[in-house]
Amino acid sequence: MFVVGGGIAHAGCTIPLKDKIDKSGLPGRQTAANILFEALVVLFIGIAFALVANQISPRGLALKRDYFPVKAALPVAPPAGAERADQASNSPVPNPAELLATRLQQQGLQLIDGRRAAELFHDRRFQEGRVVFIDARDEARYREGHIPGAYEFDPYYPEKYFPTALPPCQAAEQIMVYCHGGDCDDSESAALTLRDVGIATNKLFVYSGGITEWTTNGLPVELGERNSGKLRKPDK
């Protein structure tokens, strides 16, 4: 056996050999690249043809048109009670006098205004002891000026004033308790103290205007001790 040209000679015959493929595989890679290139060319030609046909056709698609628009968000119903809460927020805010009246009512007490306080002061029952005025300020302010005939009753030292203020309150038909007025709540505290020791709540009235409103209205003010007879001239 011996090699002759491109074949092997054996026993007088020659066997042809196939061409070797380079180990790098370049012929195979070149074939795949050619196929991919041809496919891309066909794709681009097809796209170009489709665009031209779409442009010419009367039923062609408008390329800038949005065929899938996003639907507008539907209004969401407010949660239960939200409408009532909104209406409540627009309701008028009660004034301080209304808030005080509500608070006193919850405690069994009643609110009285300046007009009614003046009426009780001029009522003949006041002279008879059936209407009583209680001053809930401290001793110094009481002596500076109080409603004539009012009993001193500081709610912070009730035991000091029970002997003089409690008996007339027990005998009275109506009791009007006052302090400085405005945001002063000593009159409310005094009324609650009297209630807690047995004075009926239907007899207790809180004068919210207090000595400030009383003086502003030009009503008489007594100086010093109760029934001193010393009256301060009304402010002009």
pTM of the predicted model as reported, rounded to 2 decimal places = 0.60
Select from 3.40.50.300, 1.10.10.60, 3.40.250.10, 3.90.440.10 the CATH code of 96-232: 3.40.250.10
pLDDT tens per residue, range 122-154? 999 999 999 999 999 999 999 999 999 999 999
Instruction: Please say whether the beta carbons of 194 and 107 come within 8 A.
Output: no
* Cβ atoms within 10 Å of 200's Cβ, excluding its own: 14
Residue 145 is classified by DSSP as -
On the CB side of 211, CA atoms within 13 Å amount to: 25
Confidence of residue 70 (pLDDT cuts 50, 70, 90): very low
- Nearest CA to 12 out of 22, 23, 1, 20 is that of 1
pLDDT in tens, 150-161: 999 999 999 999
First to last CA, the chain: 152
Q: Select the highest-mean-pLDDT range: 13-17, 27-31, 39-43, 107-111.
A: 107-111
So where are the chain's domains?
Answer: 27-65, 96-232
* C-beta separation of 188 from 170 below 8 A: no
Rounded Cα distance between 173 and 141, Å, is 27
> In percent, how much of the chain has pLDDT > 90?
50
Answer whether residue 40 shows pLDDT above 50: yes
Q: How far apart are CA 231 and CA 146, in angstroms?
A: 9
Q: Nearest 5°: CA angle at 160, between 158 and 164?
A: 95
